[in-house]
Amino acid sequence: MAALLLLVACLAAGIALRLSGRLGDSAPAAFNAYVINVALPALALYHVHRAPLDVSFLQAALTSWVMLGVAGAFFALVARRAGLEARTVGALVLTGGLANTSFVGLPMIEAHVGAHGMSYGIVIDQLGSYLALSTVGIMLAASCSGERATWRMLLRRVFGFPPFIALALALALRPVSFAPALDDALARLGATVAPIALLSVGCQLRFGAIRERARALALGLGYKLILGPLAVLLACLLLWQPDSEQARLAREIAIFEAAMGPMIGAAVVASNYRLDAPLASLMVGLGIPLSLLSAPLWLYLGSALG
């Protein structure tokens, strides 16, 4: 309960600081830079280095790709019927098909599952959500905007991302024991992901122009909060029969992570490629607070699969 109160308090603090004018427009970028370059790498090193790795990690990461693939098919079908522009469809696929598995997902795992589930969340984020955004997501955004993405650019984005580098190091250094002081330092730095990330999210919430994009927004949030997690849950039910407690935990967290609000990075990519940036911002601004309420229900359903 204390961890959940921390999430709500940090989100509310971010909103209050933005409305008060005490933080400049560049503050969220600074917060995000700290989380991406310092806190998330520390968290990856701390948890993945000591996690009992098995095939369930890969299965959990694949669920992010499932949700993105279903999103592409769903919004392509809806676009024909609703007459949506390509830039709007691209923004919906990115923000509806990719969950905020790090800034929101990791704090939510800590609050509702506990620290023992964090390693699965990090692998889902790095090998699932982020890798999907950095490859398929970039190609989709470029296609919807009329631009082209080169393989060199894609590889640079993937292998130059600090949390991904930390994940690779954590896996490579698993045979090496970390000194207690290093473990403690990594744990303390990793613990700052939740407050700083959600403070940043609160600072970026914008609720203008809802009426203008109400239909597309309803479609996007309907998929992100209901249909997408349902697709992952059904895929897990049909294709994933866990044979251990760790595998069951991995499946539960995969469903839980799928239910998180839209990925902030996906909205940034949508904006950078001149897709429907206002719609992408609304997806993040409304989807994240709503997912704080809806995601625990999906965790319950995931745990009920047995």
Compute the C-alpha angle 88/91/94, nearest 5°: 150
DSSP state string for 59-101:
HHHHHHHHHHHHHHHHHHHHHHHHT--HHHHHHHHHHHHSB-T
pLDDT, position 8: 77
Tens-of-pLDDT digits for all 306 residues of the chain? Answer: 566 677 778 888 888 988 888 888 788 888 888 888 898 889 888 877 877 677 888 899 999 999 999 999 999 998 878 788 899 999 999 999 999 998 789 889 988 998 888 889 988 988 899 888 888 888 888 888 877 767 787 777 778 888 888 888 988 998 999 999 999 999 899 888 878 887 887 787 777 667 788 899 999 999 999 999 999 999 999 988 888 888 899 999 999 999 999 988 888 888 878 888 888 888 988 898 899 999 999 999 999 886
Q: How many whole angstroms separate alpha carbon 131 and alpha carbon 124?
A: 9
Instruction: Read off φ and ψ for residue 243, nearest 5 degrees.
Output: -115, 15
Per the CB < 8 A criterion, the answer to whether 95 and 283 are in contact is yes
Domains and CATH numbers, the chain: 27-304 (1.20.1530)
The pLDDT value recorded for residue 212 is 80
Give, for 223, the enclosing helix (H) or strand (E).
Answer: none
Q: How far apart are CA 229 and CA 232, in angstroms?
A: 5
- How is residue 145 written in tokens? 């905007």
pLDDT at 181: 95
Rounded to 5°, the CA angle 159-164-165 comes to 75
Looking from the CA of 168 toward its CB, the CA atoms found within 13 Å total 8
- Distance between first and last Cα of the chain: 25
Q: What is the pLDDT of residue 3?
A: 63
